[in-house]
Amino acid sequence: MAEAPQLIETYRGIVYPWDCDVMGHVNVAVYTRIFDEANWHLHSSLGLTRAYIEETGHGFVALENRAVYKRELRAGALVRVESAVTEVREKTLLVLHRLYHAEEGYLAAENEGVTCAFDMRARRAMPWPDAIRSAAEATRT
């Protein structure tokens, strides 16, 4: 049986009226923004900080994103995201983000993505550096 990933909080915020569409619930673009911000926090927790990227020239890029919307969020909702690395591969990480209504506790949406280690100077995929790979693997236990 596969081990459950270790989820960490990667985002906390509020839904503003301007985040909502004409039907009164959160617009798809806002979910994308929230998941992107959570993704930066998750990768930073592995050591992929802005300073690290600038110093080494090693970053990451998104290859895939798949969102599933489970229950609507409306203006005024406090929200939080919990995230995890679900699989570590040579050049990619599979990541999971779960967006919750923070007060009511329900799961509003999930996002699964694939990120790739990226050599910013050569502009191509690369294997994950050992320290990043180790940090990602440690989150899975």
Tell me the per-residue pLDDT of 4-26, one tens digit each, with 9 for 90 and over: 678 999 999 999 999 999 999 99
pTM score, whole prediction: 0.93
Q: Give the C-alpha separation, 84 to 54, whole Å.
A: 24
In this prediction, residue 36 carries a pLDDT of: 97
Q: Whats the size of the chain, residue-wise?
A: 141
Instruction: Report yes or no on 87 lying in a domain.
Output: yes
What pLDDT, on a 0 to 100 scale, did the predictor assign at position 2?
54
pLDDT at residue 61 above 80? yes
User: Among residues 100, 84, 120, which one has the least CA distance to residue 26?
Assistant: 100
Q: With contact defined as beta carbons under 8 Å apart, do 41 and 63 qualify? A: no
Question: The domain spanning residue 22 has which CATH number?
Answer: 3.10.129.10
Residue span of the structural domain in which 101 resides: 8-138
Establish if 41 belongs to a structural domain.
yes
Total domain count, the chain: 1
Per-residue pLDDT of 92-122, as tens digits, reads: 999 999 999 999 999 999 999 999 999 999 9
Residue 1 covered by a domain: no
pLDDT of residue 1: 43
Tell me if 63 is assigned to some domain: yes
